Structure 1
Amino acid sequence: MSPLCWEEDVNLREYNTFNVDSIARYLVRIRSIHDLKDLLASPRFRDFRHLVIGGGSNILFAAENFDGVILKNEICGIEVVSENENNTVLRVGGGVEWMSLVTYCIDHDLGGLENLSLIPGTVGAAPIQNIGAYGAELSDVMLSVEVCNLETGETRTMSKDECALKYHDSIFKHALKYAFISSVTIRVSKAQFHCLNTQYSSVQDVLQQQGVVTPTIRSVSQAICLLRRRKLPDPKILGNAGSFFKNATCDTLLCKSIMKAHPEIPSFPGPDSFHIIPAAWLIENCGWKGKQIGEVGVSPSHALVLVNYGGARGREIVLLADSIIKDVQAKLGFQLIPEVNIIR
């Protein structure tokens, strides 16, 4: 096997979808478990802070330099572990692009990921966020992950329950922040036994517009791709990380109190008797949608999306986010929480 290549003074602009400049002291590409073990044994690795990145779609580099080691997850491969009449179990490398996995499943008549079409990033990053969209989440299909604790060097298999997957949350944002996910194992359904999820009216509308009478895995995926392209700018053209903030949540008592003062605020039932308040609605109703300050701004097509109009620095995007948070808190009483991982 080839020795690890330590790339020095690497501009991370092409490794983050916000397209901001930040110079990393080192970047190392991890293409196998062997590479990871070699890295962990290196004194140079232990001397610096480190960060794992996949597609860079949920990261904002706030500083112009990252004085540490970037681990670029490039472990590939999609393997059939087992299958029966109803389901297929796949083990997928953490460096596989998420949409490549979705496409693989659709091409093989396997259902379960079609509602998660066109979500940017890699498979290894998906459990960290418990990615979800249009009524589906990774937790619906995930069985386990192969994880290396970068602090201890321990490698083990973790079940879905151990990963503590919740709404846009997991153990990897808390107790296991310093983890490298080398593979994810999922169970997907064979098409003839799969129950499609078209509960969102926007999905139903697109299917109807396209003349789809009997939806399929592929037609649902195509509808959701169309919806996402309408809402979210292409990061290759306009730097962004998709939804910058989480939707707000509150318990029933607080929700009633806020709704009394602001009866126009929409809310939806969430997990554990909580209510979900769309963050996009809060931001838009505070006047931020479409607003531009210098080279940064809020997308005119979706209030949750902060954009880099070209040449913006990470800290300028952070300042914009902070201003939005303070304004929403002052006007509507909700504390917005960034969904994007801000690296300072």
Structure 2
Amino acid sequence: MGVHTLAELTTFQVGGPIAALYEPQTHDHLVETLRELWSEGEEPLIIGGGSNLVAGDEGYDGPVVRIAHPGLEVVPAEPGRIVLRVSAGVVWDDLVAHTVSSGWSGLEALSGIPGSVGAAPIQNIGAYGQEVSAVLSAVELLDRYGEDPVWVSADELELGYRTSVLKRHRGEPAERDAVVLTVEFVLTDAAGLSAPIAYGQLAGALGVELGTQLPVADVRASVLALRASKGMVRDLSDRDTFSAGSFFTNPIVPLAAARSLPEDAPRWPVTPVAVEPTVIPLDHYTGELPGYAPTAAPELVKLSAAWLIEHAGISKGFRLPGSRAAISSKHTLALTNTGGATGDEVAALARFVQARVSAEFGVQLVPEPVLVGVEI
């Protein structure tokens, strides 16, 4: 197993040493490895492609299990539907490329996203008008205290904007302590046509109206070009791509807070949060509802984190004095390692961005990557 660092295992290339590295190459070997480590009282760090992880310079004082086992199965389904069961270790964009070459739609707008298939449901990845939640059917999980792997429906994952019950938030444990083994998708066979184009920038790049369907290969090519222009497609010759992609999620705030921003600040409506009903037993009802205000759920609005960063005075390519971590020269939403950056330098830059946006607009940006040994 040798000596490794988290820098070697992540696209950001920051992070200190680890105690041991395990890379099971089959489904059963992965299950066996995890069971053995857990039975020994170990708390292994589970990673896939390492594209959504920012690690500290002290590293991880424990074993790391890198999920990389291959496998793809087409499950019989009704005409027009393609059911795929894909091992968690498959490279995400390899899966997308395979579905596009087969003429199946549902994942084409998610082209170029780094990482592995197993990470996709954890964070409900999305881009250019598509989200995994739209085509995710079920996942096979190995629970931390479970005996055998279990299949659970997508509904049980409580998928939301870049989140699920499986995701660790800012270093905090996940609501469900489980490892993704296999992911089931339900795609569409529409004679090689894509899902309806649902994102304005992508529609503009393709020269079509929203809702148009095009050959899936054309959509993939356009998405890859858009992502590459923002430094979001891995390129070893381009330091802007040594990152964790979009570093902050787009904030979701009440409408009243959004109205305090300049008129040109981008904003998109979000489905209001449902209000839990108030239930009072009849023998306790006095005719009044203490502490209850009969108002509707607040209307929520999604803001553009990139716009907030730019208009807080942080430009592309910005870096703190002496730091080797920088804002991407192509996209303000990405923090990058320009060469030799440390986890502390990345964290310091992220905190600076947060402070500037908070001071200028009163909005707190939330990091999207999983944080290990760093505080932001």
Q: Which residue of 2 aligns with 1:321?
A: 350
Q: Which residue of 2 aligns with 1:113?
A: 107
Determine the C-alpha separation between the residues in 1 that align with 2:186 and 2:144. 27
Residues 61-112 of structure 1: CA distance to partner in whole angstroms, max 9, x if unpaired?
Answer: 1233210111111121110011322111000000000111111111111111
Determine the C-alpha separation between the residues in 2 that align with 1:60 and 1:291. 19
- 2:146 aligned with 1:185: no
SS of the residue 1:197 aligns to: coil
Q: Which residue of 1 aligns with 2:136?
A: 142
Give the structure-1-normalised TM-score. 0.90
Determine the C-alpha separation between the residues in 2 that align with 1:67 and 1:306. 26
Q: 1:141-290 to 2 correspondence within 5 Å?
A: 141-173=135-167, 175-176=174-175, 178-192=177-191, 196-208=195-207, 215-233=214-232, 234=234, 236=236, 237-238=238-239, 239-256=242-259, 258-259=260-261, 262-272=262-272, 273-289=299-315, 290=317
Determine the C-alpha separation between the residues in 2 that align with 1:25 and 1:299. 32
Determine the C-alpha separation between the residues in 2 that align with 1:44 and 1:158. 22
Relative to 1, partners in 2 of residues 1:26 and 1:39: Cα closer, same or farther, differing over 3 Å?
same
Q: Which residue of 1 aligns with 2:117?
A: 123
* Aligned residues of 1:8 and 1:24 also touching (Cα < 8 A): no
Relative to 1, partners in 2 of residues 1:58 and 1:45: Cα closer, same or farther, differing over 3 Å?
farther
SS of the residue 1:246 aligns to: coil
Determine the C-alpha separation between the residues in 2 that align with 1:11 and 1:136. 34
- 2:73 aligned with 1:79: yes
Deviation larger for 28-37 or 181-190: 28-37
Residues 275-309 of structure 1: CA distance to partner in whole angstroms, max 9, x if unpaired?
Answer: 01000000111122221232111012111000100
SS of the residue 1:147 aligns to: strand
Determine the C-alpha separation between the residues in 2 that align with 1:323 and 1:251. 24
Determine the C-alpha separation between the residues in 2 that align with 1:274 and 1:122. 31
Deviation larger for 218-227 or 245-254: 245-254
* Aligned residues of 1:17 and 1:235 also touching (Cα < 8 A): no
More strand by share: 1
Q: Which residue of 1 aligns with 2:291?
A: none
Residues 183-231 of structure 1: CA distance to partner in whole angstroms, max 9, x if unpaired?
Answer: 000000002385633232322232239xxx9721110111111000001
SS of the residue 2:166 aligns to: helix
* Aligned residues of 2:194 and 2:219 also touching (Cα < 8 A): no
* Aligned residues of 1:147 and 1:156 also touching (Cα < 8 A): yes
- If you compute each CA radius of gyration, which structure gives the higher value, 1 or 2? 2
* Aligned residues of 1:82 and 1:90 also touching (Cα < 8 A): no
Percent identity (aligned):
33
Q: Which amino acid aligns with 2:318?
A: K
Q: 1:45-56 to 2 correspondence within 5 Å?
A: 46-56=40-50
Q: Which amino acid aligns with 1:265?
A: A
Determine the C-alpha separation between the residues in 1 that align with 2:38 and 2:268. 49
Match of 1:291 among 306, 315, 318: 318
Deviation larger for 105-114 or 29-38: 29-38
Q: Which amino acid aligns with 1:316?
A: E
Residues 134-175 of structure 1: CA distance to partner in whole angstroms, max 9, x if unpaired?
Answer: 111001101000001134455211101001111111010264
Could you tell me which runs of 5 or more consecutive residues in structure 1 were left unpaired when the two chains were aligned: 1-6
Q: Which amino acid aligns with 2:224?
A: C
More helix by share: 1
- 2:76 aligned with 1:104: no
